Amino acid sequence: MLDIRWMRENREALAQAMAKLNDLEAPWELALELDEKRRGLLQQGEKLREERNTGSKQIGLLFREKKASEANALKERMSQIGGEIAQIDEALRSVDASYHDAMMRIPNPPEEDVPVAPDEEGNVVLTQWGELPEFDFTPQPHWDFGPELDIIDFERGVATAGSRFYFLKGAGARLQRVLSNWFLDVHIQEHGYTEVYPPMMVRGHAMEGTGNLPKFGENLYRDAEEDYWFIPTAEVSVTNLHRDEILEPGTLPLYYVASTPCFRREKVSAGKDARGIKRVHQFQKVEMVKFVEPETGRDELESLTRAAEVLLERLELPYRRVAIATGDLSFVAAIKYDLEVWAAGCQEWLEVSSCSLFRDFQARRANIRYRPRDGARPEYVHTLNGSGLALPRVIIALLENNQRADGSIRLPDVLRPYFGDELEIG
């Protein structure tokens, strides 16, 4: 959510930002209109309330002085005012609801240096690390060798839960668990993160806090009877960890990391990314979330992104950092870097991390504030998050890039502390 005062005073900048984002539906003009209406009604109502408050006090006094007839006369007038207040309140309620809804549907304006383009064609590769692996045979995609090695079972996954579900088995399941643990360990021990185990179903208002609702409900799974939503990423629960709080001076920055399953409806066209575990309804992801002071946001984004990149480097996986263009930016992000890893079997770059700065956009929605100094006014924190990393796609790259002519796979040495001498699969 944006600061309405900023919106009032920066119409031009707002219009430009929305144009850059290529979001033609963003109801920012409507929001400003409703804001004006809302404040008008608010002032009318308050004036009447003031009148009624003083009147009501009078009535109390008059009764105490046994001046019943005067009191009753006043009562009648107050009753009238009460009616007017009720009318204004009703109008205000409806205006307020529309206003709030409009505000919740206005996206975050991009940072100055985000590449301006209408869609993902304008994304810019900023850096590329590592050499693409070369083979003297044709590298296979994981959906071919996964079942052969009996480490991924698609058929039984589909039979059990439907399309885009799978079983990881044996070395496959173990690899995911080991990677998840190792990612967590690196973030905790080297990057100063605190591990949390968050709820994986949350209330609707938590989804609003991170910006997944009201606009993107169709991407989420939910309980049919109760207000429980399955998290599409740990970002949702972990960001809400400090909802409605005022953090005392000295608490920021806060770094959290969690490894959770993520549930996504993935209503993409039926054929797209249908094979393998590139795009599935349930996957494991290690997510980093930061709460920081506003001035430090950009530096924190850089260190957050580096924390994810380091993992890819130690796994010897070639990757690139991509600056997401304005038209491809998510609703809540002010700036976003994607990390894409090369998968030799699929022959494509797979997104394994998104690192975003939200400024105060989420903090306003979730009402997360901090006190800059003792006794100072509370201000909104800035939030960031990034995957560090999404498991299935890292597994894809790891398996596909390290396959050998005989069909076996040799995992990188960095995993030796977790695998011992069992670095070979198949």
- Residue from 293, 316, 351, 379 carrying the catalytic annotation: 351
For residue 224, give both structure tokens. 């049919």
For residue 22, give both structure tokens. 């290529």
Distance (Å, rounded) from C-alpha 395 to C-alpha 205? Answer: 34
Residue 358: exposed, middle, or buried by beta-carbon count in 10 A (0-12, 13-18, 19+)? buried
Site for RNA in 5-24 (CB under 7 A): 5
Active site residue 351: yes
Report helix angle 391-401 to 171-190, nearest 10.
Answer: 110
64 touches RNA by CB under 7 A: yes
42 touches RNA by CB under 7 A: yes
- Which CB atom, from 20 or from 38, has the smaller least distance to RNA? 38
The torsion angle over the Cα atoms of residues 355, 359, 360 and 366, rounded to 10 degrees, is 0
Identify the helix (H) or strand (E) that includes residue 236.
helix 234-239
Distance (Å, rounded) from C-alpha 266 to C-alpha 237? Answer: 20
**Residue 359 bridge partners (DSSP):** 383
* Pairing verdict, β 282-292 and 409-410: unpaired
Cβ-contact 98, 34 below 8 angstroms: yes
The residue count of the chain comes to 426
- Which CB atom, from 64 or from 373, has the smaller least distance to RNA? 64
50 touches RNA by CB under 7 A: yes
Name the DSSP letter for residue 120: G
- Per-residue contact track with RNA, 87 to 126, x per CB under 7 A? ------x---------------------------------
Active site residue 12: no
Distance (Å, rounded) from C-alpha 57 to C-alpha 340? Answer: 68
Site for RNA in 333-372 (CB under 7 A): 369
Active site residue 111: no
Which region, judged by CB under 7 A, interacts with RNA, from 57-65, 98-106, 164-172, 393-401? 57-65
Closest C-alpha among 264, 305, 254 to residue 285: 264
Which region, judged by CB under 7 A, interacts with RNA, from 18-26, 76-84, 141-149, 157-165? 76-84
Strands (E), 86-176: 124-129, 152-153, 167-168
- Which CB atom, from 76 or from 131, has the smaller least distance to RNA? 76
- Residue from 203, 222, 265, 279 carrying the catalytic annotation: 279
Active site residue 264: yes
- Which CB atom, from 61 or from 125, has the smaller least distance to RNA? 61
Cβ-contact 124, 338 below 8 angstroms: no
Strands (E), 187-253: 194-195, 201-202, 229-230, 245-247
63 touches RNA by CB under 7 A: yes
424 touches RNA by CB under 7 A: no
The nearest distance, CB 370 to RNA, in angstroms, is: 11
Active site residue 203: no
61 touches RNA by CB under 7 A: yes
- Which CB atom, from 16 or from 43, has the smaller least distance to RNA? 43
248 touches RNA by CB under 7 A: no
Which region, judged by CB under 7 A, interacts with RNA, from 51-59, 136-144, 276-284, 382-390? 51-59
The nearest distance, CB 371 to RNA, in angstroms, is: 8
- Which CB atom, from 89 or from 144, has the smaller least distance to RNA? 89
60 touches RNA by CB under 7 A: yes
Distance (Å, rounded) from C-alpha 422 to C-alpha 401? Answer: 18
Which region, judged by CB under 7 A, interacts with RNA, from 75-83, 115-123, 133-141, 211-219? 75-83
- Which CB atom, from 61 or from 405, has the smaller least distance to RNA? 61
ω into residue 184 within 30 of 0, thus cis? no
Residues of this chain that interact with RNA (CB under 7 A) are 4-5, 39, 42-43, 45-47, 49-50, 52-57, 59-61, 63-64, 75, 78-79, 81-82, 93, 369, 377-378
Residues serving a catalytic function are 264, 279, 351, 354, 393
